[in-house]
Structure 1
Amino acid sequence: MAWYWCLEHHCVEESLGCGSSSRIGPYDSEAQAQNALSRIHEREKEQTARDESDEKKYGKKRTWW
């Protein structure tokens, strides 16, 4: 069974929940879905640290386009 974090209702939903544009996932467990937003924030912090490191190392910010 797949689990999702619903951005609209701020809760965990099973496969037959809100549409895909309103949720994050799929996750293998309800617990993983429950922690989706904290994991996203954690990854954002990690990426910000990498960006700052690159800026110090190369003297400029990384561009993606």
Structure 2
Amino acid sequence: MIEFELRGEFIPLIQLLKATNLVQTGGEAQIVVTEGQVKYNGSVDYRKRLKVRRGDVVEFGKHTIRIK
């Protein structure tokens, strides 16, 4: 599990995937989101501009990110 310390009100999903080094580029992040490879709070979510906030959980592959 990855614990991500949020410093503002939210972080866009694509930036979160890059910040946690689960993808190399923003383009790669957009692809995995649009292909339905990312779960947001337990459900597949296709929104690239999704605002992730404290308390949310994002899953990608074998990785789980909890937002603090």
Q: Structure 1-normalised TM-score?
A: 0.24
Please identify which structure carries the higher strand content. 2
Work out which of the two has the higher radius of gyration on C-alpha atoms and give 1 or 2: 1
